Amino acid sequence: MKKEYLSTTSEWTFELLESYDSAIAEVAARFKLDTYPNQIEVISAEQMMDAYSSVGMPVGYHHWSFGKQFLSVYENYQRGQMGLAYEIVINSNPCIAYLMEENTMPMQALVIAHACYGHNSFFKGNYLFKTWTDANLIIDYLVFAKSYIQQCEERHGIDEVETLLDSCHALMNYGVDRYKRPYPISAEEERNRQKSREEYLQSQVNELWKTIPKNTEQQDAQHQRFPEEPQENLLYFIEKNAPLLEPWQREIVRIVRKIAQYFYPQKQTQVMNEGWATFWHYTLLNTLYDEGKITEGFMLEILTSHTGVIYQPPFDSPYYSGINPYALGFNMMQDIRRICENPTEEDKKWFPDYAGSDWLETLHFAMQNFKDESFILQFLSPKLIRDFKLFSVFDDDTKAEIEITHIHDDEGYKRIRELFASQYNLSMNEPNIQVFNVDINGDRSLTLHHIQHDRRPLAEEAQEVMKHLHRLWKFDVHLKSFRGDDLFKSYSSSQEKDKTSEETEDKKPAAKAS
Amino acid sequence: MSYIVDRRLNSKNKSAVNRQRFLKRYKKHIQKAVSDAVTKRSITDVISGENVSIPREDVSEPTFHHGPGGKRTVIHPGNKEFAKGDKIPRPEGGGGGAGEGEASDSGEGMDEFVFEITQEEFLEFLFDELELPNLVKRKLAGIESFKYVRAGYVNEGSPNKINILRSMRTASARRIATGAGAKNKLKQLEAEREALIAIEIETRDNQRILALDEEIEKLKRRIKKIPFLDTYDLRYNLHIKHPQPTAQAVMFCIMDVSGSMNQAMKDMGKRFFILLYLFLKRNYKKIDVVFIRHHTSAKEVDEEEFFYSRETGGTIVSSALKMMKEIMNDRYPPEEWNIYCAQASDGDNWNDDSPTCGKLLSEDILPFVQYFSYIEINPRRHQALWHEYEHVQAENPDTFAMQQISDVSDIYPVFRELFQRKPA
């Protein structure tokens, strides 16, 4: 084959970036990768650290916690404890990806393939992203959020806004709708966002006559409980019902909630998303190599980096910190391809539907219609369980020893797969806390219920979070943690110390909220 | 489909605001780290940045999550020898190992949160809420120097201040304004004359042409008479006197180097002097430092000699004060200089000298200086000089301060106390 290398040195130029990008785009199109247009931004290492610490938001409002993030990134980078991840990609349309100027040409090509064609097509194709986020509007919304919060700071003081954001951040994980099926998005979202701007204008008008506290609860007095059904989205409930919040405060609660919701799909698809992107940078660049477009040295550098990324340390390694989503995702994607192309007897028995099918179609199907939990439940093969040598450990705090319940053998595959999948179920990992009742005719106190799963209690920090809840609700807040039907522990915003196993009716106004 | 954008020239300090917010929030922690650093560091690098560490729990952002306890099953990779049903003792650190992402976030037993502040920030925190006493007084007393600043243009002035551009501009405007009528007329007449000349020579109105010629000539003379530059075109730069707060300071460092001061004591003195120097440096553009050391007689020396050479013998403090007074009179007239003085001594003095010192201070020095601070480096009880100085302080509470330092760790607190911003 005639070889026409795109480049032979490791230096990159803007012209080269363009030619690599179009070469990769051409191969990607052959594999039916459907992407948003790409906006590739070349930035310096310092800028990368900035991008890092804004938790993936290209435009972020100001808050001390991002400063903390920045300082820790900066420290780690300075000490060489951490190489900067070579890519940050933003789920937006056009899809923004950052390239670091320090990187070599092979690394830039790797990032382009990984982010601009891998992640990008995932953002565009996966059902969670399609239904929950709107790539067209996110940048606009973030810009709006930033300037809105900035205006609030000017009007109400930085400290006031900061403490409010602290409280919202504490509840950020409880600002998403988990179970509710998503509504059709684009048009609806558009209108919502429009409305939020109107609310903003309204709030400015309200400034003049907002002396009367909003009393939304009155009309619901005939019901026994408010809300009638327990509600899981705490921030939403607070935004709509907290008695004393001012309009601008509600808007900020809403902003945090919206951003939490925007990131929710990413949290649910980490393995798939990284696996998909890693699979494609590997496949696309290998194709380019096979076609004689890139040199061996180039490929070697890519493979070195690739191998590092997909390394899974065993559980007893000092480097072990859980399952590496790149390793798991990449291997599962590769495995699906293998099962389609060269199925073994075992594969045919386990995956009758797609063993021997068209691999590209199957892979696209998997990418579009699953999230980590269901993806693992559906596609994790016995071969991979063997390759990873997965085993399950059962830990019961009432027993002195922990038990190995399943290993990678015939009996274990199914259970391991189920248990493994449930490990990626976010609603299992986070305590189940719901709004239970508001004492609308009495002291306006808010009561939350926590239902323990497998006897797992709340962490001590819960008491701290109660203070934040109180700051938002502005009346007493009670949290009751149930083990089965028994009250296990209750927390209250008005108590200094939490009392165990007894319900306290502390009517004192909560003085401490800081 | 792809756009490649070079963003490298965009601002890189996007996180600066967030960083500042963080520093502000943890001001107390940082201040403590800074004050520890001042004590621990070697004298020569008091001014680099500093690592600050804050306990993790103080910077944590609380969320609802699972605590230890209950039942859980965790999947791990890399099984080597386990078989189904194996029971093993629970590893240290609880739970199912480090495997669970959530558990490792909860933060028990984690390191401190460590970060670095820059030199600038270090000094910021070091001197936060401190101020130089009596700065305002000096300004109010009207003893200020002046600086000339530009203040627009005027019609009168001395020739050396002519603004050529402005003058030419007005001249040009005046020429247009005064000459425009005549020029228009001239154009008109010339056109008429052209028209007349164009007619056949026989039928020409020669008389009219002559009249026109005459008039054109007259107009041309008139236009020529308009002066190119007139006196009232001239514009002059205006400079006005702007009061300038006195921006120069001199710092006198007086140290006792008699036999009773050992190297450790001198080190403490030096740290104190350095702090004062850095602090003054932040307030004044120009600082002179005068080093005076003394035992029985005083001597002006350079920095090296001041800190490191050693003498023996008795102590006569007044010799140094006398010398300071002389130098002040010679080189640093108080109306031009802000004068600060820091004196460090172990308090030893010839008994009959102390009253002389008190008198010198009250009469010849304190009326002219901004601030005089005396530190006694002495872990034991006060010496004669201290008691004398107590009287001085009682008489001059605004300009005189004294403190005792017995240990290195006292230096920074004492310094803060001396320069604490006083409620107005």
Cα separation, A217 vs A513, whole angstroms:
24
Q: How far apart are CA A272 and CA A328, in angstroms?
A: 9
Q: Is the pLDDT at A499 greater than 60, yes or no?
A: no
How far A9 CA lies from chain B's nearest CA (Å)?
A: 20
Check CB contact of B87 with chain A, cutoff 8 Å. yes
Judged against a pLDDT cut of 70, whether residue A500 lies above it is answered with no
For residues B52-70, average pLDDT: 85
Q: How far is A500 from chain B (nearest CA, A)?
A: 15
Check if A247 contacts B (Cβ < 8 Å): no
Residue B259, both tokens: 């036999």
**More confident position, A331 or B304:** A331
Tell me the two tokens of residue B344. 């460090």
Task: Count A/B contacts: CB-CB distance under 8 Å.
Answer: 277
Q: State yes or no: ipTM above 0.90.
A: no
Pairwise CA distance, residues A321 & A102, whole Å: 28
Residue-wise pLDDT for A227-237, tens only, equals 888 888 999 88
Single out the residue of A259, A257, A274, A279 nearest to residue A372, CA to CA.
A274
E-strand stretches of A324-464: 391-396, 401-406, 432-438, 446-451
- The pLDDT of residue B404 is 86
pLDDT single digits (tens) A332-362: 999 999 999 999 999 999 999 888 899 999 9
Q: In this model, does residue B103 exceed pLDDT 50?
A: no
Length of chain A: 514
A262-277 pLDDT, tens digit per residue, is 888 888 999 999 999 9
Quick one: average pLDDT of A28-50? 90
Residue B106 has pLDDT above 80, yes or no: no
- pLDDT at position A511: 38
Rounded distance between C-alpha atoms, residue A170 and residue A493, angstroms: 14
Compare all CA atoms of chain B with the CA of A464 and give the residue at the minimum distance: B62
Tell me how close the Cα of B48 comes to any Cα of chain A, in angstroms.
17
Cα A35 versus chain centre, distance: 21
Mean of the per-residue pLDDT values of chain B: 80
Query: For residue B244, is pLDDT > 80?
Result: no
Integer Cα distance of B96 and A323 in angstroms: 13
Q: What is the pLDDT of residue A84?
A: 59
More confident residue, A344 or B197: A344
Which residues share a beta bridge with A435? A231, A448
Which is higher by pLDDT, B126 or A279? A279
- Per-residue exposure over B21-54, b if at least 16 CB sit within 10 Å of its own CB, e if not: bbbebbeebbbebbbebbeeeeeeebbeebebeb
pTM: 0.73
Interchain contact A329–B (C-beta under 8 A): no
Q: Which fold has domain B245-419?
A: Rossmann fold (3.40.50)
* Residues A290 and A310: beta-carbon distance below 8 Å: no
B53 in helix, strand or coil?
strand
Cα separation of the two ends of chain B: 65
The SS3 call for residue B73 is: strand
Distance CA B375, CA B402 (A): 6
Q: Is the pLDDT of residue A112 over 90?
A: yes
The 10s digit of each residue's pLDDT in A281-323 is 999 999 999 999 999 999 999 999 899 889 999 998 888 888 9
Mean pLDDT of B135-147: 54
Contact present, A513 and A470 (Cβ < 8 Å): yes
Q: How far apart are CA A122 and CA A129, in angstroms?
A: 8
The verdict on a CB contact (< 8 Å) between A173 and B64 is yes
Tens digit of each residue's pLDDT (9 = 90 or more) over A124-179: 999 999 888 888 888 888 888 898 999 999 999 999 999 999 999 999 999 888 76
The verdict on a CB contact (< 8 Å) between A395 and B90 is yes
Q: Residue A395 and residue B71: Cβ atoms within 8 Å?
A: yes
Among B residues 320-339, those touching chain A with beta carbons less than 8 Å apart: none
Tell me which of A193 and A16 has the higher pLDDT.
A16
For B152, other C-beta atoms within 10 Å of its C-beta total 9
Q: How confident is the model at residue A481 (pLDDT cuts 50, 70, 90)?
A: very high
Residue among A481, A511, A479 nearest A494 (CA): A511
Choice between B424 and B333, residue whose per-residue pLDDT is larger: B333
**Average of per-residue pLDDT across A28-34:** 94
Q: Which residues of A touch B100 (CB under 8 A)?
A: 322
Classify residue A481 as left (phi > 0), alpha (psi -120 to 50) or beta: beta
Q: Is B24 at the interface with chain A, CB within 8 A? A: yes
> Residue A167's pLDDT is what?
94
Which of A62, A75, A171 faces B115 most closely, judged by CB atoms?
Answer: A75
How do residues B176-195 score in pLDDT, each as one tens digit? 988 888 889 999 888 888 88
Tens of pLDDT along B373-405? 888 888 777 777 888 888 888 888 878 888 888
Tell me whether A506 touches chain B (CB under 8 Å). Answer: no
Q: What's the average model confidence in pLDDT over B4-21?
A: 83
Lowest mean pLDDT, pick from A423-432, B41-50, B92-101, B280-289: B92-101
> Residue A376 — very low, low, confident or very high, per pLDDT cuts 50/70/90?
very high
Of A44, A53, A390, the CB nearest to B15: A53
Please list, residue by residue across B112-130, b when 16 or more beta carbons sit within 10 angstroms of its beta carbon and e when fewer do: ebebbbeeebbbebbbeeb
CB contact under 8 A, B12 and A44: yes
- Which chain A residue's Cα is nearest to B51? A75
Query: Which residues of chain B does A315 touch, with a Cβ-Cβ cutoff of 8 Å?
Result: 76-79, 97, 99
Closest CB to A394 among B20, B73, B78: B73
The model's pLDDT over B268-289, given as tens digits with 9 standing for 90+, comes to: 888 888 888 888 777 776 778 8
User: How does the average pLDDT of chain A come out, rounded?
Assistant: 84
pLDDT-derived band of residue A368, with 50, 70 and 90 as boundaries?
very high
Residue A170 near chain B (CB below 8 Å): yes
Mean pLDDT lowest for which of A15-24, A251-260, A387-396, B206-215?
A: B206-215
Q: How far is A221 from chain B (nearest CA, A)?
A: 30
- Confidence band for A324, pLDDT divided at 50, 70 and 90: very high
Q: Is the pLDDT of residue A92 over 60?
A: yes
> B203 CB near a chain A CB, below 8 Å?
no
Q: How far apart are CA B374 and CA B360, in angstroms?
A: 14
Band of residue B43 on the pLDDT scale cut at 50, 70, 90:
low
Report the distance separating Cα A101 and Cα A79, nearest Å.
Answer: 20
